[in-house]
Structure 1
Amino acid sequence: MSFARSNGIVLHFRRAGRRGGPRIVFANSLGSDLAIWNEVADALAAEFDLLFYDKRGHGLSEVAQSPNGLADHANDLIGLLDHVGWQGAALCGLSVGGLIAMEFAVRAPERVERLVLMDTAAKIGTQEAWNTRIEAVLQRGVAAIGGQIMERWFSAGFRKGEADAFAGWQRMLERTPAAGYADTCRALRDADLTGAIAGISAPTLVIAGEEDLSTPPELVADTARRIPAAAFRTIAGAGHLPCIERPGEVASLLRGFLSRDGRLHAAEQGGQGPQRQNKE
């Protein structure tokens, strides 16, 4: 295990893959740790230099002593890249990790080689909904909402067919420190990059699980349309965490996108391409 102090916070991180290969850094969702990428890492390790980390308040990373916002999360990631000596990399962010990646791309575009946004949006949820969740978690712990969150995270097929794995991932969620979870909820509540992402210049791939109830495909697709050089793809049979449910497909999409010569084909720009969208 590796740890680094970044932006005043001790972060847990892991390196994997081929040193000297194309670099990818992965940012996790709310209530998860870096283990959600394990199978994707296995599929990409022979070709890419991979960096995973637990964001503040999650996994083995430190919980902040005061409330923090999206800018703090982006500064954490900037400091971590400095620590490992990466001036630039491709960023792959899932859910709030996608918002962190977007904030990073807006603030430090020269350090973003490619951008992959998975099951995320420029604005997620409402102030009222986040405040309700924050109150519940601080009063009763993350386990109090664990069942509700898991129903929104995973497809019906995964919940029925992978019961043991489903139970294991629920334990990961429910072990998240309440203070760290609530602080990240506040960052999500206050974050709105709807206007800012029009300035993202990096080639971007936006991915949505077709059965995602947390960030439905139509919401994810709307974010793709707002980024000038973005392509949009869906993954059938996956919920909010395609890296767990469909790691092979996620790895294939990443490999194809990140191995190109730096340009998206014209037919893929502006969020075009196959789009099968769920309705709530």
Structure 2
Amino acid sequence: MPHVTVDGCRLHYRLDGAEDAPPLLLIHAVGVDLGMWAPQADRFAGRFRVLRYDHRGHGGSDVPVGAYSLDRLGRDAVGLLDALGIARTHVAGLSMGGMVALWLGIHAPDRVDRLVPCCTTAYAGGAAVWDPRIAAVQAGGMAALADGVIERWFTPGFRKRAPGTIAGVRQTLLGTSPEGYAGCCAAIRDMDQRDAIGRIAAPTLVISGAHDAGTPPERGREIAAAVPGAQFLALDAAHIANIEQPDAFGAAVEDFLG
């Protein structure tokens, strides 16, 4: 597995597509890994140089001890781009990945061509929402959260018609480091980008899941209203829209990136 080291943390990454194709950075949600993008990876690699990576605390990346910050996760992404010699890239991120994507649009505008924050929010509710989740995973591991996460992430209809996909996501969740999950939950807890997203200058498409209870479409519309010129799209999905509606999601992103 290829890795780069950013500030002492080894990050696992994967590159697909032609070396001379336009770069596209895909940033995954908390609790899973770069495999979350499997429904779109081959499709996107036909037109882009697709870069996926595992957040610190996830997948094949290191698991530093302690709470992380969104700034830390954002600087991980910049450090990865630096290590791979990628000066500018399209960026798409979902859930926590969307929060990192927004961070890049705010704090590293020279690195971002077009921006696609998905099923995400500029503020996720703070300690009242996230401290209980951190406490639960610290006490009972990922098994304490898996059922609730799956219910929030996918509509009942999708869970019924795609049991194999659901089983695979559950397996990835259960295999995630509890320490890494808690560390990233702290980053989400402490994040508040509401006053900063208006500075994003990159052309932006905000995608939401119409049935997403965790980051409902209203949060996506708020981002789109704050970012100058941003577009908004709601898909017939819950939180992990790229898995529940893979073709519609892939087509929307490709159409926007051009």
Q: Considering the TM-score relative to the shorter chain, is it more than 0.5?
A: yes
> Shift in Å at residue 66 of structure 1?
3.1
CA distance in 2, matches of 1:161, 1:193: 36
**Partner of residue 243, structure 2:** 244
CA distance in 1, matches of 2:202, 2:176: 32
**Partner of residue 61, structure 2:** 61
> Shift in Å at residue 67 of structure 1?
2.1
Pairs within 5 Å for 1:77-156: 77-156=77-156
- Which TM-score applies when normalising by structure 2? 0.97
> Shift in Å at residue 229 of structure 1?
2.3
Q: 8 Å contact 1:7–1:75 — kept in the other structure?
A: no
CA distance in 2, matches of 1:76, 1:17: 22
**Aligned to 2:25, what secondary structure does the other structure show?**
strand
Does 2:228 match 1:228? Answer: yes
CA distance in 2, matches of 1:81, 1:255: 21
**Aligned to 2:12, what secondary structure does the other structure show?**
strand
**Aligned to 1:113, what secondary structure does the other structure show?**
strand
CA distance in 2, matches of 1:58, 1:38: 16
Pairs within 5 Å for 1:126-275: 126-236=126-236, 238-259=237-258
1:115-137 CA-partner distances (Å, limit 9, x unpaired) = 00000010013311200000000
> Shift in Å at residue 57 of structure 1?
0.3
Q: 8 Å contact 1:17–1:41 — kept in the other structure?
A: no
> Shift in Å at residue 211 of structure 1?
1.5
1:193-218 CA-partner distances (Å, limit 9, x unpaired) = 00000100000000011121221111
> Shift in Å at residue 65 of structure 1?
2.5
> Shift in Å at residue 95 of structure 1?
0.6
- Which TM-score applies when normalising by structure 1? 0.90
CA distance in 2, matches of 1:73, 1:66: 13
The code of the aligned residue for 1:31 comes to: G
Aligned pair count reads 258
Q: Percent identity?
A: 39
CA distance in 2, matches of 1:42, 1:247: 12
> Shift in Å at residue 222 of structure 1?
1.2
> Shift in Å at residue 79 of structure 1?
0.6
Q: 8 Å contact 1:43–1:248 — kept in the other structure?
A: no
The code of the aligned residue for 2:195 comes to: G
CA distance in 1, matches of 2:173, 2:125: 19
Q: 8 Å contact 1:121–1:219 — kept in the other structure?
A: yes
The code of the aligned residue for 2:45 comes to: A
CA distance in 1, matches of 2:36, 2:65: 26
> Shift in Å at residue 146 of structure 1?
0.6
Q: 8 Å contact 2:201–2:228 — kept in the other structure?
A: yes
CA distance in 2, matches of 1:122, 1:197: 8
Q: 8 Å contact 2:126–2:190 — kept in the other structure?
A: no
The code of the aligned residue for 2:177 comes to: P
**Partner of residue 26, structure 2:** 26
CA distance in 1, matches of 2:169, 2:201: 35
RMSD: 1.0
1:122-175 CA-partner distances (Å, limit 9, x unpaired) = 001331120000000001101111101110000111111111221221111121
Q: 8 Å contact 1:202–1:229 — kept in the other structure?
A: no
**Partner of residue 262, structure 1:** none
CA distance in 2, matches of 1:172, 1:194: 31
1:246-271 CA-partner distances (Å, limit 9, x unpaired) = 11111111111111xxxxxxxxxxxx
1:44-92 CA-partner distances (Å, limit 9, x unpaired) = 2111110000000011111113322011001100110011110110110
**Partner of residue 269, structure 1:** none
**Aligned to 1:248, what secondary structure does the other structure show?**
helix
- After TM superposition, the runs of 4+ consecutive aligned structure 1 residues lying more than 6 A away are none
